[in-house]
Chains A and B, each alone.
Chain A
Amino acid sequence: MKHLKGVNRKGKKIEKEKADLPVVEAQGSIPFMHTCTSVFNPGYEVDWTGATKQLCTPIETDLFGTTDMYCWWPGQAPDTYNNPDWNADCTRAMKDWMKLKVVKPEW
């Protein structure tokens, strides 16, 4: 932690415990929203079948569309080279979007 210095016992513990974890560096700054939406909207596009495979542009374009400061939900999706089947269980995205796999970064 570069910007916060632990003062009490708990603060020092947090500072020490997390010191070994790498910080994911970002270029410039990233947007931050104060609240979450209350609208049901998973936040990505689907094709006419309700899936993603036939979209004319790859779904990764959504990432670019959601990383500016005007988007309500900054996007994150795994890359398909290292995680080719991350959406294998999601044949109909509108219905199955909760089955998208969570990909955890390996520290």
Chain B
Amino acid sequence: MGNIARRSGAEGTLLPHCSFTAEGETYLYAAETGGLFRMDDGTRDALSALASSGVGVVPAEILSDLRRAGLLGTAGGCGPAGRTAHPPPLRLRTLVLMLTTSCNLACRYCYEVREEGCIPPADGEGARREMSPESLRGGVAYLLDHAGPDRKVSVTFFGGEPLLRFPLIQAAVGEARRMARERGKEVSFSITTNGTLLTREIAGFLKENGISVCFSIDGPREIHDRNRPYASGKGSYEDVVRGLSVLMENKNGFPVAARVTLGRGAVDVRKTFDHLRGLGFDEVGFAPASAAEGSPSALTGEELSAVMEGFRNLTDGYVEDVRERRVPAFSNMSQILTLIHRGDPMPYPCGAGIGMLAADPSGAFYPCHRLCGVGDSLGNPETGIPEEARARFLEGARRRRETACDACWAKNFCSGGCYHDAYLRQGDLFAPSVHYCQWIKELFLLGLQTYVRIQNETPTFLDVMLGERRIA
């Protein structure tokens, strides 16, 4: 007799999951629901039986638990991620303003197309390189008017090097606050800078206006100078450290974060972390350089393994920090633990085109700052963003997740990976980042094991520190 009272075949599949051991117990992470569970021996044996070929005999009670946890059924369609309305509505929280494409450095791995580092404005090639006050105003108004019921929004000053446009920033902060007040909203600000242009005046302004600062710095002098020189070839480390010391004298209570780009030959994570903590950074986050396959900036397989070993090492320190009630500084792990803690399925790899937009110097909107100039823009403050343009972009991402990534247990963590990275590597925004799959899974397994360690030792940390943390 057919399976009439239930959906045909709906429970014939073991859905993507990760079972692992931590602290002497066995655990189960169910990708369809995002639930993390401790399992007993019977469940562990049942999973082995179900995963092996042929027929397994599983007690009904265990099957029932597995079904509730989201382990049995049909991938995609029945999971919470599969129920996501498409496209999700535009509810802006963050606007990244590319104030300029000019930069005073010539980083070896920079993804901006340039033949030399220091590009003067208006080089006559047609593309506008400097944002006008009008474009900035239009972008902020659009952000405030499309934030939905959210009261708080944020503006990120980005570039190029945004401090090349400090006068524009000064004017923008006051004006954006006024515009937000008129609409009953609050706006906060952040800036990503290479730090070389920081002066006492600028640091004082950042402090006074509560602007959080993210420094791009790659580590000790020899590493930093190799990858982040001026166009002349001179290293920038000395000026970055000088800028940092000025900022630290004017610290405004917000954590100062270091954002490290891991390029070829610069993968000593532990050494870099210790050095940057020594300089006074509150948080340190690492990201591999986005680079085309075969590019001299791309990390080799051995280097990726070295990075993973470094991350394991830093994770031990992270757990130790939590145990001793210190705020941990390894921000990659905080990000992963936050995702695990909430367990919300992640249908898209980031907020690009949903909660976040970037405006290029002309004011045109793109899904994120890295995608400025890649393909067609989504619109601009005057025309708005046609729903079909956004839907086209998000449909590509959704299709990727529901096909190439559907059977992967780590899909809630990476959702196929960074669009821009895929574009550089494979020429397609929506190609899954298969070159990182194994590495990403190792990283997230480390996150799951770390979550359990902290849950056992210091459970309050998870709610207090991670509960309200925003996911970038």
Contact = CB atoms under 8 A, between A and B. Distances in A.
B33 to A, nearest CB: 6
Contacts of B2: 42-44, 73, 75, 97
B167 interface: no
Contacts of A23: 60-61, 64
30 contacts: A2-B61, A2-B65, A4-B69, A6-B35, A6-B36, A8-B340, A8-B341, A10-B34, A10-B35, A11-B343, A13-B343, A14-B68, A23-B64, A29-B60, A30-B58, A32-B57, A32-B58, A34-B12, A34-B50, A35-B12, A36-B8, A62-B1, A66-B1, A70-B55, A74-B3, A75-B2, A75-B3, A76-B3, A78-B5, A100-B4
Nearest to A105: B5
A56 interface: no
Contacts of A14: 33, 35, 68-70
Contacts of B70: 14
B1 A43 contact: yes
Residue in A18, A29, A60, A73 whose Cβ sees the most chain B Cβ within 10 Å: A29
B9 interface: yes
Interface string B324-342: 0000000000000000111
A106 interface: no
Using C-beta atoms within 8 Å of the partner chain, give the interface range for chain B: 35 or more
A25 B3 CA distance: 18
A55 to B, nearest CB: 12
A32 B5 CA distance: 17
Contacts of A97: 2
B60 A26 contact: yes
Given A2-B65, A10-B33, A15-B37, 8 more contacts: A3-B42, A4-B38, A4-B69, A7-B27, A7-B452, A25-B60, A29-B58, A66-B1
List 10 tightest A-B contacts by C-beta distance, closest first.
A10-B343, A75-B1, A36-B9, A62-B1, A43-B2, A26-B60, A11-B35, A4-B37, A36-B12, A8-B36
Contacts of B344: 10
Contacts of B43: 3-4
B59 A29 contact: yes
Given A4-B69, A35-B13, A10 B63 contact: no
Nearest to B337: A8
B62 interface: yes
Contacts of B69: 1, 4, 11, 14
Contacts of B404: none
Nearest to B80: A10
A66 B4 CA distance: 13
A98 B65 CA distance: 29
A9 B343 contact: yes
Contacts of A43: 1-3
A60 B28 CA distance: 38
B36 A103 contact: no
B470 interface: no
B455 interface: yes
A104 interface: yes
A102 B37 contact: no
B14 interface: yes
Interface in B428-455: 451-452, 455
Interface of A: 1-11, 13-15, 18, 23-26, 29-37, 42-44, 59-60, 62-63, 65-66, 69-70, 73-78, 97, 100, 102-105
B56 interface: yes
A11 B36 contact: yes
A34 to B, nearest CB: 7
A4 B65 contact: yes
Contacts of B455: 7-8
B39 A3 contact: yes
Contacts of B451: 7-8
A43 B55 CA distance: 19
Given A14-B69, A33-B12, A36-B13, A103 B5 contact: yes
A29 B62 CA distance: 10
A41 to B, nearest CB: 8
Nearest to B51: A34
B79 to A, nearest CB: 12
Contact of A32 (B27, B28, B56): B56
B53 A4 contact: no
Contact of B57 (A3, A34, A69, A75): A69
Nearest to B463: A9
Contacts of A13: 35, 343
B83 to A, nearest CB: 15
Contacts of A7: 27, 36-38, 451-452, 455
Contact of A33 (B37, B55, B343): B55
Contacts of A69: 55, 57
B175 to A, nearest CB: 39
B27 A9 contact: no
Contacts of A3: 39-40, 42-43, 61-62, 65
